[in-house]
Amino acid sequence: MPSTVVRKFYLLQATRSVGFISPIFTLFLLRDLSFTVVGSLSALSAAVVVLGEVPTGYVGDRLGRRTSIGLSIGLKAASLLGFVFAQSAVGYAVLYVPWALGLTFASGSVDAWLYDTLSERLDAGEFTRIRGRGEAVMAWSSVVTAVGGGALYGVDPTWPFLASVGLNLLGLAALASLPKNRAYRDGEGGGPTAAETFGVLRRAVARPSLRSFALYAGLFFAVLSASTTYVQPIAESMLETTIPGDLPVGLSLGLLYASFSGITAVASGRAGAIEDRLGTRRLLIVVPVLTSGLLVLPRLALIAALPMFVAQRGSRALLLPVVNGRVSEAVDDAGRATAVSAVSLLTKLYKLPLAVGAGVLADALGETSAVAALGGVFLLVAAASTVARPLRLLDDGADQGGAA
């Protein structure tokens, strides 16, 4: 039975879902924009993250993880509300900035808060299991909200955004119930100084094992992120050409995304158990390679998009808590949020050229060609980097049952 603080964490995760907009977001943009512009907006978001990821991670380390998460909730809610009124590429570009900053404020702080809380109150060894279950709770929340968002889109394309604003703001109440980490309880800003935090980060980055691990994981997550831009147009084509039915496209996508979220929930909830069974090394080799291979298949047969969709969602849900847990273990308390943020920074840095290139390719050759190219990029880079042993970080500590 989870402790009270863990249950409160799960409640926060439920409110962080963007299920209301996830089934329809790209279609919403494509009403007025080309794939190239959508890809450029995605690259803009990645650029903002690159510039803001480590500084916002420092805010989490210095001012407190709850403060950082609260800023994330506020920025994301403001951005979502803006989409109700935006009508041009410039307007959308402006809204991508607070959205991206909202992501950066949460990316390292959520994991750092959880890791430190478990260290203080329970057992840090439970991080992967509890973090994975937190992702599962978010995914189950998305199961319900994705169906609702798809249905609302059929009534008015802006309604899913209003519903998402309401859900995200509920997160402020959940956040207020969470305890502060020990270093921040006296209200005196007891976090580490900038010199201490960046000293920890500099030492961590100087370790070849951690650096190569972050580069490998960051590239895979970047490929996944760039490829998910094309899920909705590919799914729309698949529903029209290979799967009979007369449901409105918004509701059909909502149901499809609800099934994706269910898969994500199962994968996230079992992340710790699967890591224990397969070993971290094997997990971090097999899952990215198989997923990248599946990205290529819809170019050959559109119906193959279904297993690709499953792999996109499931692999990220499965690997994210594992990767963040390993990075958290490798870094001292003082710079934990900053270090986890740095991995996210690498992901967005990779995504900059991938998003723009895929957008241009999608306009020229189609969405499936763009996604296939992204999968091919990871497979080629992963094969070329085997000499550098990107997973040697696992040799620094116990690799639970891992295979060489």
Q: What is the DSSP string of 33-80?
A: --HHHHHHHHHHHHHHHHHHHHHHHHHHHHH-HHHHHHHHHHHHHHHH
- Cα 263 to chain centroid distance, Å, stands at 15
Q: 263 with 313: CB under 8 angstroms?
A: yes
From 56-60, 235-239, 293-297, the region with the lowest mean pLDDT: 56-60
Answer yes or no: is 186 within a domain: no
Helix, strand, coil % (nearest 5) of the chain?
85, 0, 15
225 within some domain: yes
Q: Are 370 and 233 in contact (CB under 8 A)?
A: no
Least confident of 41-50, 369-378, 388-397: 388-397
Helices then strands, each counted (H, E), the chain: 17, 0
Number of domains forming the structure of the chain: 1
DSSP state of 247: S
- Say if 1 falls within a structural domain: no
pLDDT digits 0-9 by tens, 75-117: 999 999 999 998 888 999 999 999 988 988 887 778 778 888 8
Could you give the residue ranges of the DSSP H alpha helices within 297-333?
305-330
Write the CATH number for 253: 1.20.1250.20
**Does any domain span residue 402?**
no
Q: What does the pLDDT look like over 193-219, one tens digit per residue?
A: 555 555 655 665 566 667 677 778 888
C-alpha–C-alpha distance, residues 107 and 57, integer Å: 8
Q: Which residue has the higher pLDDT, 238 or 18?
A: 18
Residue with tokens 């690159």: 50
Q: Is 394 a residue whose pLDDT tops 50?
A: yes
* Average pLDDT of the segment spanning 311-337: 73
Q: Check: CB of residue 65 under 8 Å from CB of residue 111.
A: no
* Residue 185 included in any domain: no
In this predicted model, what pLDDT tens digit does every residue of 237-287 receive, in sequence order? 877 776 555 667 777 778 877 887 777 777 766 777 787 788 878 888 888
349 within domain boundaries: yes
What's the pTM value of the predicted model, to 2 decimals?
Answer: 0.70
320, 225 contact by CB (below 8 A): no
191 near 64, Cβ under 8 Å?
A: yes
Domain interval for residue 69: 7-178+192-396
